[in-house]
A and B are shown apart, each in its own frame.
Chain A
Amino acid sequence: MYIGCKVPYVVLALPSWLQQLKDDFTLNFIDDKRYMYLVKGLGATLEITFFAVLLGIALGVVAAIIRSSHDKTINDMRPGFGKVLLKVLNAIVKVYLTIIRGTPVVVQLMITYYIIFASSTNQIMIAVLAFGFNSGAYVAEIIRSGIMSIDNGQFEAGRSLGFNYVQTMTYIIIPQAFKNVLPALANEFIVLIKETSISGYVGIQDLTRGGDVIRSRTYSAFMPLLAVAAIYLLIVVFFSKLVSILERRLRNSER
């Protein structure tokens, strides 16, 4: 026989295990357009993570500034309204940090969903708030350590030029602190992307829940769950790469 006959033979008669995979794939992703569960789920996961990250940074920076301002200046402050305000704010932040870091995030999510926003139907917004507040507590401690690591001379140089406390923080201390803690922050966001996988607990159709829905329809766990894992992995690897590029750029700007 000629070689020409062999080719269609190979294509048509796949080895049985490969044929099995192909059937599995078709069943889990193609039939009934089941891949849409993953697409839509990924959309929800990214949306929740993105806005939770923004909220987390905003909360974290504010909390970090309050904590480090308190620790750095409270002893030198003159008695008065400012001092009382700072003490109150610091106490609030401490309670916030203690609660968030002392309870599981899944419990926080359920409390946010079933108790605090029991009457709301905007699930994504609820998840953003829950994960954002959670992340904020960790970001706060990361940024605070960054602020504390900046040499006090930087602070004094800023003040001696006439910048007030907040301006010195904004223009001089925070940019440097942020740069120093970028790897730790990136890590926190990688953690957050993965943590949103518990969104299914409150009925949100995120990526993980999407895969699980497919599994429950097809009674086949292998394909959908591996697909879900692969997608998370891709996002995390991509994000890590992005951060290392950013880090290098920031470093170069000082050379």
Chain B
Amino acid sequence: MSDNEVLISVKDLCKHYNMGAIKALDGITTDIKKGEVVVIIGPSGSGKSTFLRSLNLLERPTAGSITFEGVDITSPKTDINKLRMKMGMVFQHFNLFPHLSIIDNMTLAPVKLLKMSKEDARNKAQQLLDKVALGDRGNAFPSQLSGGQKQRIAIVRALCMSPDVLLFDEPTSALDPEMVGEVLDVMKDLANDGMTMVVVTHEMGFAREVGSRVIFMDEGRIIEEGTPDEIFTNPTNGRLKSFLAKVL
């Protein structure tokens, strides 16, 4: 799957608050390659969300650069909306649009932004719904769904835009334990289909099984980075060891 082509290149990324008193990101450099599943782990407050949200500029970095498909997205001349269409995002709290039916949640962006015909968009949405075993819920509203179902919808809503990368910020943290599996299964299928994914999660089983690379962050920096095997089986860094001791 992975053909070594760099999709997102991050250099010396910093995000400071209060004139530098708080360094949410303190110099992050990494490349995300096509087809990779990059899993980001680390203690709470270590900057995982800030990093992920910088990738599609929901957070504006204070310094450093992010290149996506060869375009410097932090440059003022870049049309960030165009780029965001190719970067899907899945949130901890789903953020489905409560005033729209499931099918409308999914077709709104393709119809308005990609100028897809309503019919094509619906067909595509229906195919994706079938894929996540929610084919019969298209006319339901978000409030009628369980958390696990909402998150599966959120994933396929992002997929309706045919993105080149999907960003997940703790997609299972708001779910009841019995619903975590159904969401992780969908993500696993996506990974197997070759989707490029950046996933912030506390699900170490998922990181180990599905991740092609694991990044351990603390205090706004990348402390360790490597294959799941390197990170989980033979951790050398002290902070990583004590973090893993707490979560495993």
> Are B76 and A78 neighbours in the complex by a CB distance under 8 Å?
yes
Contact among A163, A176, A255 for B109, CB-based, below 8 A: A163
- Measured between beta carbons, the chain B residues less than 8 angstroms from A171 are 108, 112
Contact among B89, B98, B113 for A176, CB-based, below 8 A: B98
A171 CA / B87 CA spacing, docked (Å): 20
In the complex, which residue of chain A has the Cβ closest to the Cβ of B98? A254
> Are B98 and A160 neighbours in the complex by a CB distance under 8 Å?
no
Query: Which of B84, B85, B96, B98 is the most central at the interface, judged by chain A CB atoms within 10 Å of its CB?
Result: B98
For the complex formed, measure the closest distance between the CB of B174 and the CB atoms of chain A, giving whole angstroms: 11
> Are B141 and A162 neighbours in the complex by a CB distance under 8 Å?
no
> Are A162 and B58 neighbours in the complex by a CB distance under 8 Å?
no
> Are B97 and A154 neighbours in the complex by a CB distance under 8 Å?
yes
A157 in contact with B144 given A78-B76, A163-B109, A171-B112 (CB within 8 Å): no
| B82 located at the interface, meaning its Cβ lies under 8 Å from any Cβ of chain A in the complex | yes
Per-residue CB proximity of A57-76 to B under 8 Å, as 1/0? 00000000000000000001
A219 CA / B85 CA spacing, docked (Å): 73
> Are A159 and B58 neighbours in the complex by a CB distance under 8 Å?
yes
Interface residues of A in 14-44 (CB under 8 A from B): none
Contact among A78, A156, A161 for B161, CB-based, below 8 A: A161
- Measured between beta carbons, the chain A residues less than 8 angstroms from B58 are 156, 159-160
| B60 located at the interface, meaning its Cβ lies under 8 Å from any Cβ of chain A in the complex | yes
A76 CA / B15 CA spacing, docked (Å): 13
A254 in contact with B81 given A153-B93, A161-B109, A163-B109 (CB within 8 Å): no
- Measured between beta carbons, the chain A residues less than 8 angstroms from B56 are 160
In the complex, which residue of chain B has the Cβ closest to the Cβ of A157? B95
- Measured between beta carbons, the chain B residues less than 8 angstroms from A167 are 112-113
In the complex, which residue of chain A has the Cβ closest to the Cβ of B154? A157
A162 in contact with B81 given A171-B112, A255-B143 (CB within 8 Å): yes
| A183 located at the interface, meaning its Cβ lies under 8 Å from any Cβ of chain B in the complex | no
- Measured between beta carbons, the chain A residues less than 8 angstroms from B89 are 156-157, 160
A163 CA / B89 CA spacing, docked (Å): 13
A163 in contact with B112 given A76-B60, A253-B141, A254-B141 (CB within 8 Å): yes
Query: Which of B58, B109, B113 is the most central at the interface, judged by chain A CB atoms within 10 Å of its CB?
Result: B109
| A83 located at the interface, meaning its Cβ lies under 8 Å from any Cβ of chain B in the complex | no
For the complex formed, measure the closest distance between the CB of B158 and the CB atoms of chain A, giving whole angstroms: 7
- Measured between beta carbons, the chain B residues less than 8 angstroms from A172 are 97
A8 CA / B128 CA spacing, docked (Å): 81
Interface residues of B in 121-170 (CB under 8 A from A): 141-144, 157-158, 161
- Measured between beta carbons, the chain A residues less than 8 angstroms from B161 are 161-162
> Are B84 and A154 neighbours in the complex by a CB distance under 8 Å?
no
Interface residues of B in 3-29 (CB under 8 A from A): none
| B220 located at the interface, meaning its Cβ lies under 8 Å from any Cβ of chain A in the complex | no
A253 CA / B101 CA spacing, docked (Å): 9
| A175 located at the interface, meaning its Cβ lies under 8 Å from any Cβ of chain B in the complex | yes
A157 in contact with B91 given A163-B81, A163-B109, A255-B141 (CB within 8 Å): yes
A159 in contact with B60 given A153-B91, A171-B112, A254-B98 (CB within 8 Å): no
> Are A162 and B95 neighbours in the complex by a CB distance under 8 Å?
no
Per-residue CB proximity of B68-94 to A under 8 Å, as 1/0? 000000001000011011011101010
Closest 3 CB pairs of A and B: A162-B85, A157-B95, A160-B89
Seed contacts A159-B84, A171-B108, A171-B112; 5 additional CB < 8 Å A-B pairs: A78-B76, A160-B158, A163-B81, A179-B99, A253-B141
